[in-house]
Structure 1
Amino acid sequence: MHAIVPQETHQTPLTSQAAGHNSAARKASVWGLVPGIFLTASIAAASFALRQVPGVATFSPMILAIVMGIAFHNLIGTPVRAKAGVMFSLRKILRLAIILLGLQLTAAQVIEVGATGIAVIALTLVSTFVFTKWLGHMLGVDRKLAELIAAGTSICGASAVIATNTVTRAHDEDVAYAVACVTVFGSIAMFVYPLLPGLLHLTPHAFGLWAGASIHEIAQVVAAAYQDGQQAGDFGTIAKLSRVAMLAPVVIALGLMASARKDSHGHAPAKAPMPWFVLGFVALVGLNSVITVPAGLQSGLVLLTTFLLSMALAAMGLETDIRKLKAKGLRPLILGSAAFAFIACFSLMLVEMTQ
């Protein structure tokens, strides 16, 4: 009787060789990310350092990071070998940062805003988003750019713009333009709002709600609301964080709408761009609501989240050609200014009605 030799014995060297090639390819791929990640991290670190300059601290590191990224790309040029890491920062690191944003909010904070406050925030968000999309269509602004400006204005500034783009899938220049719009008008609000509580006869509670419901960035809300005292600042921050929580349902809804939208040939996209990372955001909100994160760890996580978001926006800047921004003309800027005026006036009307 002849011995039967298993086939696997003859294939083992080839299998080992293939596994070795795959392992080497993975290592090469990982090392290929290092230059770009190092570049985006360096710009993010520089944005934090730059805030130590008097007068610059009013701008968030995220805003400084995208400005520095744009300057680097257009004056020096993004190295080819950094491209892979830059895209990794723009996609993977961004999603991780948005998930971690969930640790900055609890269900108890949302409850503290109250049913009336939540209704003001939600109605303002939806109305601003719909108005901006409609006006964008009337002005002839590209649908994707109008959607990004609408998200940034109605929800939470630059973070909402880049999160929304995971389903909108606009060009990098559109994202940069939308970020620029919400930065400019959010900064205007940050300086103008503190001048108005006395003129408008707003209580600290009402002023905090107005700031949290209408100013674009979290940092801008904090800077404006605390000018009217501790109570206004605390409530404005909580109202703003409650508004940030609405990022999840908005992005999921936009993803479902995008999957249902037919292309130019009348066919629906083969794959729905479901933003699964947003579910991670919701999960961490839930986790943060049932456990108590130590204050030191909490502040460290907030810093880490801001740093990761700054890396993502630095990557966005490194992918932005300023010549293409100029080519978009004034219509998107008009749209951004109109959206800013609408959210400020509409939310103030609702706050005045509930005082």
Structure 2
Amino acid sequence: MLPGIAACGAAALVSWGIAAGVPEVPLLTACVALGILFAQLPGTQSLIRGVFAPGLAFSSKKLMRAGVVLLGLKLSLIDIAGLGWTTLLTTIAIVLITFAGTYGLGRLFKLPGHEPLLMATGFSICGASAIGAMSGVVGAKRSEQAHPVALVTLCGTLAIFVLPALWGPLGLSNEQFGHWVGAGVHDVGQVVATAQIAGSSALAIALVVKLTRVLMLAPIVAVAGAFERKRAVAASDAKRPPVVPLFVVGFIVAILVRSFVPLPESVLSGAEVLQTILLAMALFGLGTAVDLKRLLTAGWRALAVGLLSWVLIAALALGAVQLG
């Protein structure tokens, strides 16, 4: 596995350099983009399917799960409760409506395999990391994750430029803009890149709203796992997924620890760095599974679903902000 893991580590390091030099590009977005670009270079497919294959598979699966567990340390139930019931309930409603709407669009456009479920999870909750978490529960192949990861990254990147351009014309205050970004942009890094232009108060609101959406990862993945287990039992499948996957339990425990145990700032900072490294390596691995030519030709259905879902969540989030 070492060659593939080393390639993922090197990509994470390069992405860190890109993000440091161009702050508008979130590190994890750069990792997915590097993986996609690497897969399109002449001669790299023999590496991806050969010597790199075990390490890429390990990174995109195992390291992704470990990163999701550490993501829980960013979530404080106390901070989320501070949003108030109205904001909390509207944020949950946006997640559920977007999830159902995107899943329905995926089925309507006849996306194959687990793609509708993965698209719904990524667009409604927290981007590529949510896709990786759901894939671990339903046993999705790396190839099934490729289009959802590429599209949620594409749409999240578009949001970094589109939402600020609409900020003035829509007449939103700094705080309202932060709320809109937190409720409507996919990845945490993309939320930071988009909301920071409106100042620290907007960024703080955006992060808390966004992390409230991340909190929904645990129940939605757990429900999907229960359905997958029920399907396996009905089909007399010898390989049955656990009722609640171990990494989801770890994610919940991390949230509880962050909420009720006073952790030193050095521990939280170290955990955040490690989580970023793990997710960066995992997302490069997932990016290498993207067949860009196929996505741009035969993948037009997935592209249509992604863009429609992006518009849906942005519109719902804007509506919630204006109602509030």
Could you state the TM-score of these two structures normalised by the residue count of structure 2?
A: 0.90
Aligned position for 2:30: 64
Does residue 83 of structure 1 match 2:69?
A: no
Alpha carbons 2:15, 2:30 under 8 Å: kept:
yes
Q: What residue in structure 2 maps to residue 121 of structure 1?
A: 91
Task: Kindly indicate whether residue 16 of structure 2 is the aligned counterpart of residue 48 of structure 1.
Answer: yes
Matching residue of 1:272: 241
Please tell me whether the aligned partners of residues 73 and 318 of structure 1 are also in contact (alpha carbons under 8 angstroms). yes
Q: Does the 8 A contact of 2:64 with 2:129 survive in 1?
A: no
Any stretches of 5+ residues in structure 1 without a counterpart?
1-32
Higher-Rg structure is 1
Q: Any idea what SS the aligned residue of 1:157 has?
A: helix
1:313 aligns with 2:313: no
Q: Tell me how far 1:142 sits from its aligned partner.
A: 2.1
Q: Which residue in the other structure is 1:242 paired with?
A: 212
Between 284-293 and 62-71, report the one with greater CA deviation.
62-71
What is the 5 A alignment of 1:102-251? Answer: 102-251=72-221
Match of 1:34 in 2: 2
Which amino acid is 2:161 matched to? F
Letter in 2 for 1:344: A
User: Which one is further off, 153-162 or 205-214?
Assistant: 205-214
> In 2 relative to 1, CA 345–320 (structure 1 residues): closer, same or farther, beyond 3 Å?
closer
Matched, 1:93 2:59: no
Aligned length: 318
CA distance in 2, matches of 1:73, 1:188: 22
Which consecutive residues of structure 2, in runs of 5 or more, have no partner in the other structure? none
> Secondary structure of the residue that 1:199 maps to in structure 2?
coil
Compared CA separation, residues 73 and 330, structure 1 to 2 (3 A): closer
CA contact (8 A) 2:111 2:301 kept: yes
8 Å CA contact retained: 2:25, 2:193: no
- Report the Cα offset of residue 239 of structure 1: 0.9
- How far is the alpha carbon of 1:323 from its aligned partner? 5.0
> Would the alpha carbon gap of residues 329 and 83 (structure 1) be closer, same or farther in structure 2, given more than 3 Å must change?
closer
Task: Tell me which moved more, 122-131 or 45-54.
Answer: 45-54
Give 1:335-346 correspondences, 5 Å limit: 335-346=305-316
Identify which of structures 1 and 2 has the higher relative contact order when contacts are C-alpha pairs closer than 8 Å and 6+ apart.
2
Q: Tell me the TM-score normalised to structure 1 length.
A: 0.83
Q: Which amino acid aligns with 1:36?
A: G
Q: What is the CA RMSD across the aligned residues, in angstroms? A: 2.2
